[in-house]
Structures are given as structure tokens and as C-alpha cells.
Structure 1
């Protein structure tokens, strides 16, 4: 039996010291700490939407299992102990190849296998309209096909655990019900669906809204529209990108208040350029894009956002201030709330996975200064030494 290891930090809710005892990858106890410390302590961050990170792209033309492992290591040192790789709209063969690469990565590296519970398919069954489609390639947008899904699922060893679609297609409800019966979670996103179609999707089993407020027309009818419909639907938990670019502070604050903390969560929607210097790039997600000094990533020709270039820790810090949440509530949107969709991760409880972070933060900071991340009891210190 391994020795007990302890981690002490301040509880973001009470500011009092807390000591978490860990052995063999599990939490033994969470108790009042005796030592004063400057760091905060919290569960490891859980990100349900990561397209790539730190120069590594899960949607690469030639997908690489080694690149997935490398991205996982960077995500871990940045505080993300669980993440869901997200594959975007593409041909059947390209999606199949990318799924295989992700499945192989989980066999190569134990930390990657622990970090990735499943894969998220964002598409290809999305709106074909400009605006809602975002930067997904129109050529490959198509109606749902259960045969196509089953082929992907078989080829990847059952790795798909979430699918984002637009429920405007005639057979959407049947498709959603079939995926739900296969224990696959369904999210609504990149849609121009009507209120009735959204309601039918929820009745069939849809449970999430993918980056609500984005992947939408630039101009919408005052009412009704698909944003109001999803905000009002109690059966949907909404994901929000809190990077300061996808949603203005007032919109983020209003939408979280409308959904409530229990039905809200944060995602990064990070692409491979997250953590890269400003400049023009060509990427599988978005094509010809430009990343500015403020971290805004846009498609050169259309000006549409092409994913996010900031990690989830930055989103927590932004939401804490911009949405008026405070640190503890913002953290819950990136731990407990998304954790419900990955088997209950994102909590510090006896018997639970030893996934946690130690970090610095004070009001007004634009990021969490991660000093150490712990996944399954293994420490991943920040390379910056913070």
C-alpha cells in the first residue's frame, strides 16, 4: 500500500485551510487544515470541450496519438485533470481516423486514459446556415445517420460519449432517443431549430446546450428564438465560453442567472492555438485564422470566432469577476457542474478520485495561477514555477 500524501490549501468558499489526504489515487479524507497557506485548493478542472491545446490539434489532417498525450500533459499542468476531446464536422473517414488516434492515445499513457472519459462529436449534424454553422465546413454538414454513428462507435471501441447536433432535422428526435439509449449524451448547438424542435429534442433525451450564445446568427428575432428557448428549458444544462470574447460580460452574467448555477457550466472550447503567440495561422478548425494580442481568434475572411485560445482556468477567473460570481461559484461551474456529465468527477470527497489543484488568485486576476495539479494522486507542477 502506498504512503499517504497530503495537500493543504484554502477553501474557496470559506477561506479556511483544508487538508486533503490521498493514497493510491483516491481521497482518504478532507479535513480542516492546521497549516496556513497562500494557495487555494479545489477539485481539478473538468472541460467538456477541447478541440486541441498548446499547438496540438485533435482535428489534425494526420491525427497523432502522441500529440494527444502531449496535449494532455499541458492541460494537466494548467489545472485540467479531466477533459473531453472534441471533434468537429468533417468527412466520415476523417472523423473515424481521429477517433482511432484518440483511442490509441488512451492506451499509450495512463494519465491520458484517466483524463479522457470519452470523446465529444460537435457535428456533423449541425445547421447549414451562415452564423449558426460557425466555422464548420458546409461541405460536410449532413443529417443524422445512426448507421454512420454506429460505425464510428464500433471503430473507436465505444469512445463517443457526447454528440452536439441541431435538432431541426426531421428525424432528430428519433436519433437523439437512439443515442440516449446507447448511453451517449446529446447536446443542442450550432442550431436554427424552432422552439418546438428544441422541446422535442429535450423530450427525446437532449440534456445540454453547447456554448450557448455562440454558433448563432449575428441578428436574431427579438422573440421567439432558439437562445430564449434553450435558456427557458429546464431540461438543458448550458455550457458557456467565458473568455471575454465569445460572450460580453453582461450577456454571460444574464445567461448564467437565467439558467441558474445548477444548470450552467463553463467550457474552454480551446483549439490548438490556445497558449500560442499572436499571429496568422492555418488550422483544421477554422482554416485561415488570426489570433490577436488579446487572445481573440477569428476567421480571416468572415470575422467569425474560430474557437477559443484560452484555457479553462482563465475562464474561471473571468467568470468570477465578469459574471459577479466570486471564486467558489465560478470554480463549481468548471468542476462540480461539468463533473455530473463525466461520472461525478470534479469533487473533493472521501473515496473520490484524487484530482485537485493548488493555485493563487485574488479578485481582478485574469487567470488562476496554477502551482500544482494532482491527477489520480500524481503531481504535475506548473512549468512556470508559479
Structure 2
């Protein structure tokens, strides 16, 4: 496996066909795809499209929502995510004061436009502050900053972000939501329904106005709901809505994950929704949202005083894929595509065609020990941005 002066040759077993292939890259693109020889029992790695995370709040001690934040620290997070096989991601900025949101958006936009990012950051996901004020659906978002949608404020934030806000999560229970959603969509922003207590009519109007995604469906909700109708059923049943879901094994049980996948099919997107404690060692931590929290060896993050209450997700997309397979939710190919091709398709990214000739050379080489995934190399635009093992050049 080699990549020099823009030209590279990579060999592996294709994730979806189980057959050996050879990918040749040049100028950041896949220029040839050839049949190879051997198989993964011959010590060939697997090869698959790079992972794409549409919802990530932080990683390995770096919090995209806590000031001071520098674009250097955002770059550091990008480099760490390369080790996880992530070739594109959307930093998520959550509910905060208008001034802090503006500052954070400015910093992340600088990271997006710098050469160091290698175009790994595909935009910004603004989750809030136009969410439900109710306990339960609001989740961990600060009630002091929850507010109804305001177009002038969003325009100001988008200007601070230099146009990089790609996804906005809101609750359509606010009276002016349909008109606001329509303006967002017309401006090129994807609108997602989340942290909501909206009724059936409000959700229907939101989708009619252009909302196209459900943010971590099944979470950010009341602990108890009417059996029907309710806003989870309404979103699940609407074929126009894609569904994001957290696959860490704690936010949703296998039965719910399986139902969402079966109903939404190719419109299912796996997200990490990880917080800054993801990738850190088990222990007791203090966070600006949950206060004193406990990260268990199993990867569960909960409030120290209430073990039943989650304080966020701390597992990467790679671990989410492993969890879905171990829980019997779906096949390996399906789990991987939920984490790569599906989010790319939703956002209209050039990587939506995966390993086809002409696509960006964004892919991952990895080993599988049963269902455990070990990333060997991450290739971004034809460049090896992470090399986990010493690999001989061809």
C-alpha cells in the first residue's frame, strides 16, 4: 500500500463484495479499480469508504462547545478522528448564549478553511437553541438559552460561520417554525427535527416546509409518551425524513435500532453524538453540562448521582458499527454504509459513490477480529493521514 506524489496503490478485500481489489489513486481521486488476488485470510486488510459523522460534539478531551476553543484544537480533533477511520465529520455546536455560539462558529469556520483540515470538516451542525423548552425533550441543553426560531439571528450566525452551517436541528413546536424552516432550506441548510415535543400536525408542517432529518431519533424525548400518536411514531412513519440514530449501545436498545433501520432502510444514518470525553480512560470527570459524571469501562457515561441518566455518548462511529453487529441489528456492510455512504448521500457529498472510479479517494483499510475493527490506514483525498502499522511500500 503506497501513496507518493499524489499517486497511490492500495490493496484490500472490498467490504461489500468480500473480493480482493486494487485501488489506484491520483490527484485525490480513485482513478482505477481492479480485481485483486487473494483474500482476507491471506493477510489482506479490508477496504471501505471513509466514515462520515454528522453529529459530534467533541473528542479526546476537545470540546467544540467550550471556550476557549482554538482552530488548532479543532485540527487536533480531526487528526485523532482520522485514527478512527473518519474522513469527514460535522462538528456540532449546541445551545448556548448567542455571543458564544457566534464565537465558536467563527473558530470552527477558520479550521474548515485551513489547509490542515484536508477538507475533513464538511460543515457545521447547529443543534439548538431553537429546541423544546420542556424537560425531557430538551435533554442536557441549557434551558436559559432555549428560544423560538429567529431568522435574523440565524443569518448572523451563518455569516459568522462563513456559510458553513450545513445542518440545523430545531423543534417545530414553535409557532413560526414552518416559515423559518422554509427559509433555511432555501438558503441551502438541511433542517432536522430534534429535541422536540411537537404534535403530529407540527411535524407534518415542518416536513412540508422542508425538514428532512430526525436528529438522534428516539433520544432527546420524554421518558414516557402516549402509545400513539407521538412524535417518534410520526417521524418514523414519514418517508421524507431520514433518521439519525446513536449506536453506542446505551442510548437505544437493539430492538429500537433494528426498527429504525428496517423502516428507514437507506435513509438511516449512524451518528456518534460523542462528547469531549470520548476516547478517554474510564473514571470520574467534571463537565460543563452534566457536572460530575462517570465514564465506565464499558463506555457508558452517566451522571455520578444518577447512574440511570446518561450524560452523553463516548463511542466513535467505529465502535457504533461494532455495537450494531454485536447486537444483531444488521450486517457489517449495512452498518458501515449507515456510517459512510448514507450520510454522504444525505448531505450530497462527493463521497456518496464510495469506492467507484472518479470518487474522492477517501477510504479506510482495517482488520477485523470477529466484530472488532482495527484501523490500519486512513486515506483522505489520496493521502495517508493515519498509518497505524508499518506497511511495506509496493
Q: Same fold (TM over 0.5)?
A: yes
Give the Cα–Cα distance (whole angstroms) in 2 for the partners of residues 242 and 61 of structure 1. Answer: 28
Q: Following superposition of structure 1 onto structure 2, how do residues 255-334 of structure 1 map, counting pairs within 5 Å?
A: 255-260=260-265, 262-300=266-304, 303-334=308-339
Structure 1 stretch displaced more, 31-40 or 209-218:
31-40
Tell me how far 1:343 sits from its aligned partner: 2.6
Give the Cα–Cα distance (whole angstroms) in 2 for the partners of residues 98 and 263 of structure 1. Answer: 30
Aligned counterpart in structure 2 of residue 8 of structure 1, from 7, 11, 32: 11
- Map of 1:184 onto structure 2: 189
Give the Cα–Cα distance (whole angstroms) in 2 for the partners of residues 50 and 278 of structure 1. Answer: 20
DSSP-derived class of the 1:372 partner? strand
Give the Cα–Cα distance (whole angstroms) in 1 for the partners of residues 339 and 369 of structure 2. Answer: 18
Contact 1:135 1:299 in 2 (8 A): no
Tell me how far 1:358 sits from its aligned partner: 0.6
Contact 1:280 1:289 in 2 (8 A): yes
Deviation readout 1:25-53 (Å, 9 max, x if unpaired): 11102221135443110000000001001
Q: Following superposition of structure 1 onto structure 2, how do residues 1-386 of structure 1 map, counting pairs within 5 Å?
A: 2=5, 4-36=7-39, 37-110=43-116, 112-260=117-265, 262-300=266-304, 303-344=308-349, 345-346=351-352, 347-363=354-370, 365=371, 367-383=372-388
Give the Cα–Cα distance (whole angstroms) in 1 for the partners of residues 179 and 11 of structure 2. Answer: 49
The structure-2 alpha-carbon separation of the partners of 1:91 and 1:384, relative to structure 1 and needing over 3 Å to count, comes to farther
Contact 1:39 1:358 in 2 (8 A): yes
Tell me how far 1:314 sits from its aligned partner: 0.7
Deviation readout 1:73-112 (Å, 9 max, x if unpaired): 00011100000000010000010111011012224443x1
Deviation readout 1:265-304 (Å, 9 max, x if unpaired): 1000011110101122222443432211211112345653
Structure 2 alignment gaps of length 5 or more: none
Structure 1 alignment gaps of length 5 or more: none
Deviation readout 1:141-169 (Å, 9 max, x if unpaired): 11000010000111221111110001000
The structure-2 alpha-carbon separation of the partners of 1:3 and 1:63, relative to structure 1 and needing over 3 Å to count, comes to closer
DSSP-derived class of the 1:353 partner? coil
The structure-2 alpha-carbon separation of the partners of 1:299 and 1:113, relative to structure 1 and needing over 3 Å to count, comes to farther
Q: TM-score, normalised by structure 1?
A: 0.94
Deviation readout 1:179-212 (Å, 9 max, x if unpaired): 0010000000011111111111110000000011
Contact 2:6 2:382 in 1 (8 A): no
Give the Cα–Cα distance (whole angstroms) in 1 for the partners of residues 322 and 341 of structure 2. Answer: 16
Count of residue correspondences: 382
The structure-2 alpha-carbon separation of the partners of 1:137 and 1:379, relative to structure 1 and needing over 3 Å to count, comes to same
Give the Cα–Cα distance (whole angstroms) in 2 for the partners of residues 284 and 23 of structure 1. Answer: 45
Contact 2:203 2:234 in 1 (8 A): yes
Give the Cα–Cα distance (whole angstroms) in 1 for the partners of residues 386 and 326 of structure 2. Answer: 26
Q: Hey, which of these two has a bigger chunk of strand by percent?
A: 2
Contact 2:132 2:146 in 1 (8 A): yes
